[in-house]
Amino acid sequence: MRREIRWWLHLALAAALLASQARATDSDALDGTCPVCGTPVTVYRLRSTNSFGGQDRDLFTQAYGDQGFIVVTASCPKCLYTARSEDFLPAEKRRAQAPPGAAKAVSDGVKRAILEEHALQVPEGGRVDGKLVDWAKLDLAAQTATLREESDEELGWRALEVAWAVRSGATFGAKVPDRYPPDVVALREKRESQDRKANPALVDLEAAKLLLGRLSKTPAAEKPLIAALAASLLRGHGEHGALLSALPRILACFPKAQAAAVEKDLRGSIALEQKYQRAAMERFEKALAGTAPLSKPESRAMLTYLVGETARRLGEEDKARSWLGKVAAVDGVPPFLVRYAKDQLETLAPVTK
């Protein structure tokens, strides 16, 4: 996917909560062919998606059900070439309305690297029961983009998508309630009545804070469920700092053996997500420092914001404060990013002198 497509996709997702909510995620299966080795590959094209899960402040617009960017990424089972579905379709079957550059020919050099040098490798832990997991598929897409010498901006987005895939697929060994507790339901209803376009992701974080605040007063029999729900809400939106800070209280609600398993799962998935977040941040910094033109006038503001917000999620508060503080002054910054940067600055600990 060329950088024009990258912006077409991510800017649309970033604005999703400012517009009407979409329908449930749905897709069509199409017969494709790997452009490297000719293997038949079933690919998927979105018919509709949704933003019901809200938008995390690193611009991950979450769907209930399948995540659109994962659905439309296809991987060849033979040579592991991985890209957007359109790359696997003949020209006559590609979306006529897609912006130019949605697919491009694979060079002979890239083909040799994949077929003869086996340059694409499934990352460790990337298969479960023989099946390629979502984050590993996105990792292969990032590897493919690197082979194709995509821009630092593009490679940053690729890495960030892997981090999002890790987040969306994260699980840990604790059961959550089948339904929200009454106080969380009341909170969600209150926020929706105040603002029909309230961001569900931010309401979830508020709900997690509410649950943690009453954990000590929760009946012993309910504590594991309430603790698991609070952890799930924080983990599901990538708020690792808040989760790790509350982890001792959360783990104390489980039997010792289960607590150890929960902690291992949480810390493992957080470390994996942060690996790709750091890769994305470093690529975005290179793109901003480089002389190559960025894909859109808004790119500089978007990448500046993402460096700051990603630094915040990695616990690098001084760096986060510096980069988030630059956002409002960038030419062409979308108004919602100014608001996001201001909000995220307010979450950081005050500077002590």
Beta strands 61-62 and 73-75 are unpaired
User: Would you kindly state where each structural domain of the chain is located, as residue ranges?
Assistant: 3-171, 182-253
Which of 33, 151, 209 has its CA nearest to residue 142?
151
How much is the pLDDT for 222? 96
For residue 212, pLDDT beyond 50: yes
Torsion angle in degrees (nearest 10) through CA of 136, 58, 4, 162:
0
Residue with tokens 């982890």: 247
Which tokens is 178 given? 């089948």
Paired strand residues for 41: 32
How much is the pLDDT for 26? 86
66: DSSP letter? S
Say what the pTM is.
0.90
Mean pLDDT computed over 61-86: 95
Instruction: Band the pLDDT of 87: cuts 50, 70, 90.
Output: very high
Encode pLDDT of 259-305 as tens digits: 999 999 999 999 999 999 999 999 999 999 999 999 999 999 999 99
Instruction: Return the axis-axis angle of helices 200-213 and 182-194, rounded to nearest 10°.
Output: 140
Instruction: Band the pLDDT of 74: cuts 50, 70, 90.
Output: very high
How much is the pLDDT for 352? 63
For residue 20, pLDDT beyond 90: no
Instruction: Band the pLDDT of 2: cuts 50, 70, 90.
Output: very low
Backbone angles phi, psi at 304, to 5 degrees: -60, -45
How much is the pLDDT for 103? 60
346 by Cβ neighbours in 10 Å (0-12 / 13-18 / 19+) ranks as: exposed
